[in-house]
Amino acid sequence: TLSLSFESSLIQSCMSLADPDELVLDYTRAMMAFLLLNPAPKSVLMIGLGGGALHKYIHKHLPETDLTTVEINPGVIELRQDFCIPPDDERSRIVCADGAAFLAKPTHQFDIILVDGFTGEGIPDALCSPGFYRRVKAALTPQGVMVANVQADTEQTRDIMKRVGRVFDGAALSFESDEGGNDIVLAGQREALVRCCQAFDARWAALPSVHQATLAACSTRLQRALLKGFSVA
């Protein structure tokens, strides 16, 4: 494997040298849970490139999706060849910019916004403030979904859930990644979450096998979180 770390022993990204497109880290697999709400998004915005695991997965397995990844650190982008990240093309691009500033003036609205921005000290304040989540919501299409990676069981995470809940009018949930250590926060329109809850089994059955394999370990926890908060309209 090839791993990426920022000024600490915490691994930010990991790539299998035998299969560069595999989602090695459990939290990256769990972040793809948005596929159960929208299996074919027209546009995805990702804040934070890291080793490009999610960028590569979406580029390969969602060929009809327009993909923009924003990364603030040019040094991380310079490693794209080391991590086998495909070059920019007509449907995907990596932008060197501050993710919070980018969302202040987004190029358009997105079906999915993935937030995975970390420094060596954790999530920067600019990527988890109430104002940031308001900008995320404004940059989503009416049926859009935000998925954010946060550290599990911390005071910051509890604050984040409160902020996201207020911004999205309570239409938010969280569930643990496959091996713990990370929580995945998902937020969107309440009606969309209710529909996903009610038709979960049918949506799961309709997913391509590659996505079922990706989500196999976390699907039960996601369904449980949906049932807890959105089983009744």
Residues marked active site are found at: 116
Distance CA 7, CA 82 (A): 19
194: left (phi over 0), alpha (psi -120 to 50) or beta: alpha
DSSP letter at 88 equals P
Distance CA 114, CA 32 (A): 9
List the beta bridge partners of residue 186.
Answer: 147, 173
Interhelix angle for 219-230 vs 190-198, to 10°?
120
Return the closest-CA partner of residue 145 out of 13, 64, 34.
Answer: 34
Return the closest-CA partner of residue 39 out of 222, 233, 209, 190.
Answer: 209
Reading the block at residue 188, the tokens are 């969107």
Distance CA 193, CA 26 (A): 23
Distance CA 33, CA 28 (A): 10
Distance CA 106, CA 108 (A): 5
Reading the block at residue 4, the tokens are 């990426």
Distance CA 112, CA 136 (A): 10
